[in-house]
Chain A
Amino acid sequence: MDFQLTDEQRALRSGMRDILAGRFSLRDAVDRVDRALWKELGEAGFFSLALPEERGGVGLGLPEAVLAFEEAGRALLPGPAVASFLAAGEVEGAWSGDAVVTAVDGTLVPWLAEADAVQGDVSGAVALRSVDPLTPLHRVPGPPRPGRGALLYAAEQLGSAARTCEMAVRYAGDREQFGQPIGAFQAVKHLCARMLVRAEVARAAVYAAAVTRDTREIRGAKLLADDAAVRNARDCLQVHGGMGFTWESEVHLHLKRAWVRAELGQRADEAQEALAAAL
């Protein structure tokens, strides 16, 4: 047993981080997918990571996919990345990033107007005024349809949780009040410590679920990662004080996206019921 990242996995993660770093402006991403970036991601193998080589994919496994989606979550990559990834072997152009694919998930459809293809029945879909400015949402009538990609959403949540922890720590080290960095105050320090703990527990759960592919572990991983992303974003906002409440700071975008993702792939109540039933 060696439950640590291999050198290749580390390289993959930093490669993804480089592609995403500063490549898109969050402000410009409202209501549209950056097609050039989508294509670039496709060429880098992002959507085809887990496709077997004989089908034109990269032939890596779920752990690698999870590392890539963690980076997407850190960077708040706009667009239906999870649905497009899952469609890679099913919809023409999805694996290469030429097609933007979305899917019905529960009662929601993200990015419906921008998508080239939709998986699922969207008749009667009604646009919501989405809480997340970077995720347009439609709602479809009828009974909810089970979502896919819970673990990939969990990975994005993990990336976001780790990122908001870092943002809080950086701000706490820079911002001074009462003649010292606010991070020297225990009330602030303890918020940050708890953020790290949440992110690290979620990380262990998400990575292990990617390795074992066990249904229960995937459920638990999504549950804990949802919680880490939402609560870390809230705490990050608190650490930023008034600055955190502004549209200008990125904090609210993490929180709002975390709320959206918590509804996709699998909801907390479903996970808890399923996990309880398995006890």
Chain B
Amino acid sequence: MDLTYTEEEEAFRAGLREWLASVLPRLPARPSPQDWPARRAYDTSWQRMLYDAGYGHVHWDAPPTQRLIFLEETEKAGAPYVGANFVGLLHAGPTIASEGTPEQRERWLPPVLRGDEVWCQGFSEPDAGSDLASLRTRAWRDGDHYVVSGSKIWTSHAEVADWCELLVRTAPVSEAVPKHRGITWLAMPMDAPGITVRPLRTLAGSTEFAEVFLDEVRVPAANRVGAENDGWRVTMVTLSYERGTAFVGEVVACRRVLGEIAREARANGRWDDVALRRRLGRLGAEFTALWRLTQWNVSEAQRTGGVPGVGGSVFKLRYSHARQELYDAAAEVLGADALDLGHAWNLDRLSSLSYTIAAGTSQIQQNIVAERILGLPKGR
């Protein structure tokens, strides 16, 4: 067990720190969540800066430890969040990198790295959430195209995306074709005729996700990643990236916010509340442990040479609840001010409510841990 970083890793960290210190002071604040076009422009130009500085590739080809350092340092320095680039950089990109053809990699990966193109994730449907494999959006072959009809929901950043990692059903479910077969993974251009995006308002008041209606949308067959009807396997690759390292930087951020909450409590007198104070102390232990668990998982991925494992589910379960506890504690410290959306903590408190739902609910994660790690029998 070794928590010290190698010289090479420390050199990478030092270079990154120096670069961040030189660019961040000149960076304006990120636009509000009410204005996604402005956010897109902001997030992609940040990605472009990273790319030009040689950090564009870090989520894909860098060794896991380097990725960890990158996420830690950018968060510590208060650098912008991946934002609209989330899907492209953190799951569609890695999926194409590992499952795509050379032409596909050439077509889609560089624009993501340069911040030229933004992706969204069209997996969930109104009747296929946790039970993703029961999705019904259909695609049939017409010459060298797929024709797609159906609808997707909760598609984050759909409004501003250029591409969608889309799951479609290419063979109807039957006795011969169980629901996990017959699914295909497509890259769909979001400007194709037949696509309607209807933004949905989140409980935090922003329009972060949308419904996407697909009416005979033509997608070139060349945009299929993996074989026809083999999309479930490709999807598992995507999901393992989604749960793998996507939250690393946030743990660092939570530790920082906890310190701010403690300062506020000392200033406004809430610190005298023994129970509240002890809760904050406990959260300190929690986020430190989650950071260590991250290092544990990353070390494991580094050793096994690849895709983050189911350890990501263990992390996600605990982290999503800890994040909610953090902002609940913040609200207790704020007292009546917890009702004022003018305070950033309160918006974060609202968005923390999605953490136990998005990217697989806590119940589903518990099933995964119980069945895949502990080997308990599959339920009915």
* Closest beta carbon of chain A to B163's beta carbon, Å: 35
B30 interfacial contact with A, CB 8 Å: no
Q: Which of B279, B285, B366 contacts A205 (CB 8 A)?
A: B285
With A1-B2, A63-B1, A207-B292 known to touch, is A190 a contact of B370 (CB < 8 Å)?
yes
Chain B 354-368 interface residues, beta-carbon cutoff 8 Å to A:
363, 365-367
1/0 per position for B281-311, CB-CB distance to A under 8 A? 1101110111011011011101100000001
Chain B 257-276 interface residues, beta-carbon cutoff 8 Å to A:
258-259, 261-262
Residue of A with least CB distance to B365: A193
A19–B300 Cα distance when bound, in Å, is 28
B295: chain A residues within 8 A (beta carbon): 1, 3, 204, 208
Interface pair B377/A184, CB less than 8 Å apart:
yes
A208–B281 Cα distance when bound, in Å, is 18
B317 interfacial contact with A, CB 8 Å: yes
Interface pair A3/B2, CB less than 8 Å apart:
yes
A192 interfacial contact with B, CB 8 Å: yes
B16 interfacial contact with A, CB 8 Å: no
A212 interfacial contact with B, CB 8 Å: yes
Interface centre among B2, B367, B371, B380 (most CB of A within 10 A): B2
Interface pair B314/A197, CB less than 8 Å apart:
yes
B2: chain A residues within 8 A (beta carbon): 1-3, 211
A185–B377 Cα distance when bound, in Å, is 9
A201: chain B residues within 8 A (beta carbon): 286, 289-290, 293, 314, 318
Q: Which of B3-11, B106-114, B196-204 contacts A (4 or more CB under 8 A)?
A: B3-11
B233 interfacial contact with A, CB 8 Å: no
1/0 per position for B177-206, CB-CB distance to A under 8 A? 000000000000000000000000000000
Residue of A with least CB distance to B374: A169
Q: Which of A9, A203, A276 contacts B262 (CB 8 A)?
A: A276
Interface centre among B4, B5, B281 (most CB of A within 10 A): B281
* Closest beta carbon of chain A to B279's beta carbon, Å: 8
The range of chain B's interface size is 35 or more
Interface pair B369/A208, CB less than 8 Å apart:
no
With A2-B302, A193-B369 known to touch, is A183 a contact of B282 (CB < 8 Å)?
no
Interface pair B9/A1, CB less than 8 Å apart:
yes
Chain B interface SS verdict (over half): helix
Residue of B with least CB distance to A210: B1
B9: chain A residues within 8 A (beta carbon): 1
A2: chain B residues within 8 A (beta carbon): 1-2, 299, 302-303
B236 interfacial contact with A, CB 8 Å: no
Q: Which of A26-34, A37-45, A217-225 contacts B (4 or more CB under 8 A)?
A: A217-225
Interface pair A216/B280, CB less than 8 Å apart:
no
B375 interfacial contact with A, CB 8 Å: yes
Interface pair B374/A275, CB less than 8 Å apart:
no
Interface pair B377/A183, CB less than 8 Å apart:
yes
Q: Which of B5, B259, B285, B293 contacts A200 (CB 8 A)?
A: B293
With A197-B317, A212-B3 known to touch, is A269 a contact of B278 (CB < 8 Å)?
yes
Interface pair A220/B284, CB less than 8 Å apart:
yes
A238–B261 Cα distance when bound, in Å, is 37
Chain B 69-97 interface residues, beta-carbon cutoff 8 Å to A:
none
Total contacting residues, chain A, CB less than 8 A: 53
A113 interfacial contact with B, CB 8 Å: no
A172–B363 Cα distance when bound, in Å, is 18
With A1-B5, A4-B300, A180-B377 known to touch, is A205 a contact of B281 (CB < 8 Å)?
no
B222: chain A residues within 8 A (beta carbon): none
B376 interfacial contact with A, CB 8 Å: yes
A181 interfacial contact with B, CB 8 Å: yes
* Closest beta carbon of chain A to B379's beta carbon, Å: 5
B259: chain A residues within 8 A (beta carbon): 279
B277 interfacial contact with A, CB 8 Å: yes
Residue of A with least CB distance to B304: A4
Q: Which of B6, B277, B290, B367 contacts A1 (CB 8 A)?
A: B6
With A220-B288, A223-B285 known to touch, is A208 a contact of B3 (CB < 8 Å)?
yes
A200–B1 Cα distance when bound, in Å, is 15
A194 interfacial contact with B, CB 8 Å: yes
With A1-B2, A4-B299, A208-B3 known to touch, is A279 a contact of B280 (CB < 8 Å)?
yes
A274: chain B residues within 8 A (beta carbon): 281
B290: chain A residues within 8 A (beta carbon): 201, 204
Interface pair A1/B65, CB less than 8 Å apart:
yes
B373 interfacial contact with A, CB 8 Å: yes
B296: chain A residues within 8 A (beta carbon): 3-4, 203-204, 207
Interface pair A186/B299, CB less than 8 Å apart:
no
With A3-B295, A208-B292 known to touch, is A9 a contact of B285 (CB < 8 Å)?
no
Chain B 1-34 interface residues, beta-carbon cutoff 8 Å to A:
1-6, 9
Interface pair A275/B284, CB less than 8 Å apart:
yes
Q: Which of A9, A186, A275, A277 contacts B379 (CB 8 A)?
A: A186
A219: chain B residues within 8 A (beta carbon): 285
1/0 per position for A157-191, CB-CB distance to B under 8 A? 00000000100010011000000110111100110
Q: Which residues of B contact A (CB under 8 A)?
A: 1-6, 9, 65, 68, 258-259, 261-262, 277-282, 284-286, 288-290, 292-293, 295-296, 298-300, 302-303, 311, 314, 317-318, 363, 365-367, 369-371, 373-380
7 A-B residue pairs with CB within 8 Å:
A184-B379, A192-B374, A205-B292, A216-B284, A217-B288, A272-B279, A275-B284
Q: Which residues of A contact B (CB under 8 A)?
A: 1-6, 9, 63, 165, 169, 172-173, 180-181, 183-186, 189-190, 192-194, 196-197, 200-205, 207-208, 210-212, 216-217, 219-221, 223-224, 269, 271-279
3 closest cross-chain pairs (CB), A and B: A220-B285, A276-B281, A279-B262
